[in-house]
Amino acid sequence: MFLEQFSKDKGQLGSIEVICGSMFSGKTEELFRRLRRAQFANQSILLVKPSLDERYASQDVVSHVGQSWAAVRCQNAHEIMEKWQGEHIVAIDEAQFFDAAIISICTSLANQGARVIIAGLDMDYLGQPFGPMPQLMAIAEYVSKVHAVCVDCGNLAHFSYRTVAQKEQVLVGAIEKYKPLCRSCYQQKNQ
C-alpha cells in the first residue's frame, strides 16, 4: 500500500502519507517503521522536526518509548526545502507545529518525486483540528489514523487530554502534561 510508484516515462512519482492521531498513539514509531523499511531498500532519507520540539533531544526525533532517529531541526516549513538534497524520503515529525507553508512545501516535494511521510497530532487538547494537519490529510494519497489506549477505561483513545492549567494551543510536553482518553472519558473530564 505504501510502495513508491514508478512511471516508465517519468521515473519515480512522489506521494504524501500522513500518520495522525492523539498523543501516545504511536505516530512516531509508525514513522520510524516506514523509515526502517526505506533504509533497508537503500533509499535516502531526510527526517525533519520543528525546532520548538526539544522534549527528549534537541537534534534527534525520539518516540515516547525511547526509539530515536537523527533529524534536522527546522524553524519553519521553507527550511525543509532548503535542507532537501534530493533524498527519496522526506519525513516530517510533529507537523502540526509547522506553519501553513508546509502544505505547499509537501506538495512541491511530492511533485518533484519525493515520498513525503508526515506524522502529527490531528487534534489539539481541545479536540479541534490542529494547525495544517487537516489540509495535509486532504492532499495526501494515504492517511493512517493511529490510536492510543485510554488511560482511564482502556478503550481506544483519540483525544490528548491536557492535565495542566496552561491554555495556549501549543504546549510541548509528554506524560507530565497530557494523557490519552477516549471520547467518553474526555467528555466526562470536560464537563
So what's the pLDDT on residue 106? 98
50-93 confidence digits (pLDDT tens): 877 665 556 776 656 667 667 899 999 999 999 999 999 999 99
* CA nearest neighbour of 130 among 165, 170, 180: 170
Contact in structure between 28 and 65 (CB atoms under 8 Å): no
Indicate which residue of 79, 94, 141, 168 is catalytic. Answer: 94
DSSP letters spanning 2-50: -PPEEETTTEEEPEEEEEEESTTSSHHHHHHHHHHHHHHTT--EEEEEE
Domain-embedded: residue 108? yes
So what's the pLDDT on residue 164? 79
Domain-embedded: residue 42? yes
Q: Categorise residue 26: left if φ over 0, alpha if ψ from -120 to 50, beta otherwise.
A: left
Domain that holds residue 93: 7-147
So what's the pLDDT on residue 55? 59
61: domain CATH number? 3.40.50.300
Cell numbers 533524498 correspond to: 87
Q: Categorise residue 86: left if φ over 0, alpha if ψ from -120 to 50, beta otherwise.
A: left
Domain-embedded: residue 78? yes
So what's the pLDDT on residue 8? 44
Domain-embedded: residue 54? yes
Name 154's Cβ contacts closer than 8 Å, sequence gap at least 6.
none
Position 7 pLDDT exceeds 50 = no
Position 120 pLDDT exceeds 60 = yes
**What is the 3-class SS of 89-133, one letter each residue?**
EEEECCHHHCCCHHHHHHHHHHHCCCEEEEEEECECCCCCECCCH
Domain-embedded: residue 50? yes
Domain-embedded: residue 33? yes
Contact in structure between 157 and 124 (CB atoms under 8 Å): no
Calculate the alpha carbon distances from 87 to 38, 44, 101 in Å.
11, 5, 20
Residue 94 known to be catalytic: yes
So what's the pLDDT on residue 159? 95
For the chain, give the mean pLDDT: 87
Domain-embedded: residue 92? yes
Percent of the chain whose predicted confidence (pLDDT) is above 90 = 68
133-148 confidence digits (pLDDT tens): 999 999 999 999 999 9
Could you give the number of structural domains in the chain?
1
